[in-house]
Amino acid sequence: MRPLSLITASPAETEDLGRRLGSILKKGIFIALKGELGGGKTCFTRGIVAGSAPESSYLVASPTFAIMNEYPGTPPLYHFDFYRLACGHEIAELGFEDYFNGHGICIAEWADRLGELLPEDRLEITFTIAGEERRTISFEASGPDSLTLIERLVQGIPTE
Ligand X SMILES: Nc1ncnc2c1ncn2[C@@H]1O[C@H](COP(=O)(O)OP(=O)(O)OP(=O)(O)O)[C@@H](O)[C@H]1O
Short-list 73, 68, 67, 69, CA closest to 25: 73
In the complex, minimum distance from the CB of residue 158 to Mg ion, in angstroms, rounded to a whole number: 28
Of the candidate spans 55-63, 114-122, 123-131, 146-154, the one that interacts with Mg ion by CB under 5 A turns out to be 55-63
Axis-axis angle for helices 11-22, 41-52 (nearest 10): 40
Q: Which is nearer to ligand X, 133 or 151 (CB)?
A: 133
Short-list 3, 42, 28, 9, CA closest to 129: 9
Please answer whether residues 35 and 41 qualify as being in contact, where contact means their C-beta atoms are separated by less than 8 angstroms. yes
Residue 138 binds Mg ion (CB under 5 A): no
CA 89 remoteness from chain centre: 22
For ligand X, the nearest residue by Cβ is: 40
- Among 8, 14, 42, 126, contact with Mg ion (rule: CB under 5 A): 42
- Among 41, 46, 113, 135, contact with Mg ion (rule: CB under 5 A): 41
In the complex, minimum distance from the CB of residue 131 to ligand X, in angstroms, rounded to a whole number: 8
* x-marked contacts with ligand X along 126-145 as a string, rule CB under 6 A: -x-----xxx----------
Task: Tell me how far apart the alpha carbons of residues 68 and 97 are, in angstroms, rounded to a whole number.
Answer: 12
Residue 109 binds ligand X (CB under 6 A): yes
Please answer whether residues 139 and 125 qualify as being in contact, where contact means their C-beta atoms are separated by less than 8 angstroms. yes
Q: Catalog residues that contact ligand X under the rule CB under 6 A.
A: 8-11, 13-14, 37-43, 62, 109, 127, 133-135
